[in-house]
Amino acid sequence: MSEYLGKTIRVSVADGRTLYGRLEAFTAEKDIIMCDSMEQQPKDGSARFVGPVVVPGADVMKIGLQHL
What CA–CA distance (Å, rounded) separates 6 from 40? 21
Domain total for the chain? Answer: 1
CB 9 within 8 A of CB 34: yes
- Residue 19 has what pLDDT? 97
- Residue 68 has what pLDDT? 67
Domain of residue 61 covers 2-65
- Residue 1 has what pLDDT? 81
Mind listing the pLDDT tens digit for each residue in 21-45?
A: 999 999 999 999 999 999 999 999 8
DSSP state of 27: -
- Residue 59 has what pLDDT? 96
When pLDDT is cut at 50, 70 and 90, the band that residue 67 belongs to is: confident
Q: What is the mean pLDDT of the chain?
A: 94
CATH number at residue 60: 2.30.30.100
Task: Please give the radius of gyration of the chain, using alpha carbons only, rounded to the nearest integer.
Answer: 11
